[in-house]
Amino acid sequence: MASVISILVAIMSALLTFYLANRLTLNDSMDSKSGWRKELMDIASKDEITLADIYRIRASVRYYPHLKPTQLSFRWMTNLIIKLCNEYLVGIYKDKRVRSYERENGNNSLSKVTISPENDEIVRIICRYLLKYHWEARQKMRIFRRGRDLMNIDDDEPSESAARTIQLILEQVKKMDDNQNNDSSKDIKKIIDETLLEAKSYENTSNYSNKM
């Protein structure tokens, strides 16, 4: 009887080892083929952000927002990133591209492209958050969740990293205020406040919000 149990345990261990190796290989393959992490790392390390970078970030998250996310969860952060891209960052960097084109084509009335460095840093912060979350989720892989795509993680637990990311963004917003770039800072604050209010209207709220 003991020998039978030993054989069964050995078989189960071998199957589990094979399953884990297969899942890790699959997710590594998905990363290498899509270039998801590489593109975000490239954006996070760039000196100057472009409109194409904003479109890459928008493409790296969901097609549409989550419904009823828990405040400061990954779902909630995904919704915030979508809002920031769609309602603020695309417009800012599209305007930058237009002004750059007009400057290069001799329009002296638009001789200077005025995009604050704080906007660039907000984009880098978003990329660093996505990379950090993705890396940590890989370390805590739920091995028995079939078909789990680690590039589209569906986590609704609040986290301190999300709260810290919002703090970092708000630090850049304060710099905009200090530099008299009030219109941009108001737009970002409005988007963050709207996303926070949406989450507060649901039952699940986060203790981390008190730290902000």
DSSP for the chain, please give it: -HHHHHHHHHHHHHHHHHHHHHHHHHHHHHHHHH-HHHHHHHHHT-SS--HHHHHHHHHHS-SSPPSSPPTTSHHHHHHHHHHHIIIIIHHHHHHHHHHHHHHHTT-GGG-S----HHHHHHHHHHHHHHHHHHHHHHHT--TTSTT--TTS----S--HHHHHHHHHHHHHHHHHHHTT-HHHHHHHHHHHHHHHHHHHTSS---GGGGG-
* 128 & 201 share domain: yes
Given a cut of 60, whether residue 81 has pLDDT beyond it is yes
Number of domains observed in the structure of the chain = 2
pLDDT digits over 101-139, tens only?
666 666 554 444 556 899 999 999 999 999 998 877 666
* Average confidence (pLDDT) over 181-201: 84
* 26 & 44 share domain: no
* Average confidence (pLDDT) over 155-177: 91
* 25 & 50 share domain: no
Q: Which of 4-8, 77-81, 177-181 has the highest mean pLDDT?
A: 77-81
* 14 & 50 share domain: no
* 62 & 120 share domain: yes
Per-residue pLDDT band at 143 (split at 50, 70, 90): very low
* 114 & 207 share domain: yes
* Average confidence (pLDDT) over 180-201: 84
pLDDT on residue 201: 64
158/199: higher pLDDT: 158
* 25 & 48 share domain: no
* 63 & 51 share domain: yes
Mean pLDDT of the chain: 77
pLDDT on residue 101: 60
